[in-house]
Amino acid sequence: MTAPLRAMVLAAGLGTRMRPLTERIPKPLVPIAGRTLIDRALDRLAAAGIATVVVNTHHLAPLIEHHLAARRTPHIILSHEPVLLETGGGIAKALPHLAPGPFYVINGDALWLDGASDTLLRLAAGWDDARMDALLLLSARADAVGYDGPGDFFLDGDGRLRRRGAAPYAPFLYIGLQLLSARLFDGVTVERFSLNRLWDQALAGGRLYGLIHGGSTFDVGTLRGIALAEAALAGATGAQGTPASETPGAAE
């Protein structure tokens, strides 16, 4: 599959695990090694040829809107949520700008480094529309910098995912980047709900798949995670070896 042309960055959340930092800075505007999380995501999307990105807002929305006004590419559509809709509801509200084909969804605190190839293009290459409704990027639990949780999924030999369930640990965790089919939202109304509801629907139908990330990933959902990511990226430029000022779509 050629890379999708549309994506969504989830930027509406409260960032409760990052408090007190996120009481004055929305989570996507937290800088990591000199560049905000949302700019890092948008830079990667622009470099992969994504033409249109929907960014949802709620918490401290004017700060995000002001920040994004300085970007040249990609084209950004704001989807404001006066009442927080969570991940599933936020995507459902933005769906008219994302359908009909598969589209990327990136968490506002996702941070990764590519491996031997572009991560977004790897996801696109791994997409099989006949078999999949969702393709999640995974990291081995032990390889995610700053992560100390029990993991999220088991990965079957054919790429299908199973929840950790009652097991004390699962080997893989979801790292905040995925491809979704618009058909996953068929019949869904715009209301507050977690995307987990639709993941479980896809899992029940054998249509929830995972792809193991080939590069580095960082859990920056907490202040500890931010500090560890800063240390790991110390001395790097643009978090991808490219000066931020030369990264496609960087704000002027």
Q: Which domain holds residue 98?
A: 6-238
Is residue 15 in some structural domain?
yes
Is residue 197 in some structural domain?
yes
Is residue 245 in some structural domain?
no
Query: Could you tell me the CATH number of the domain that includes residue 89?
Result: 3.90.550.10
pLDDT digits (tens, 9 = 90+) for 20-76: 877 898 999 999 988 999 999 999 999 999 999 999 999 999 999 999 998 989 999
* pLDDT score recorded for residue 34: 87
What total number of domains does the chain contain? 1
- Which has more pLDDT, 225 or 106? 106
* pLDDT score recorded for residue 241: 41
Give the sign of the dihedral formed by CA 247, CA 79, CA 173, CA 125. Answer: negative
Which stretches of the chain are DSSP H helices? 37-47, 61-68, 86-94, 119-126, 196-204, 223-233
Burial (0-12, 13-18, 19+ Cβ within 10 Å), 24:
exposed
pLDDT at 122 over 70: yes
Q: What does the DSSP assignment read for 180-221? A: E-GGGGTT--SSS--THHHHHHHHHTT-EEEEE-SS-EEE-S
pLDDT at 107 over 90: yes
Q: How confident is the model at residue 15 (pLDDT cuts 50, 70, 90)?
A: confident
Is residue 32 in some structural domain?
yes
pLDDT at 239 over 70: no
The predicted model scores a pTM of: 0.90
- List CB contacts of 113: < 8 A, sequence separation 6 or more: 215, 216, 217, 239, 240
CA atoms within 13 A on the CB side of 148: 5
* pLDDT score recorded for residue 238: 42
Q: How confident is the model at residue 19 (pLDDT cuts 50, 70, 90)?
A: confident
* pLDDT score recorded for residue 3: 74
* pLDDT score recorded for residue 235: 54
pLDDT digits (tens, 9 = 90+) for 199-225: 999 999 999 999 999 999 999 988 888
Q: How confident is the model at residue 186 (pLDDT cuts 50, 70, 90)?
A: very high
**Which tokens in the block code for residue 73?**
């590419």
Is residue 1 in some structural domain?
no
pLDDT digits (tens, 9 = 90+) for 138-158: 999 989 998 999 999 999 999
Is residue 250 in some structural domain?
no
Q: Could you give the 3-state DSSP secondary structure of residue 112?
A: strand
Is residue 251 in some structural domain?
no
The per-residue pLDDT of the chain, averaged, comes to 90
Quote the CA–CA distance of 102 and 133 in Å, as a whole number.
9
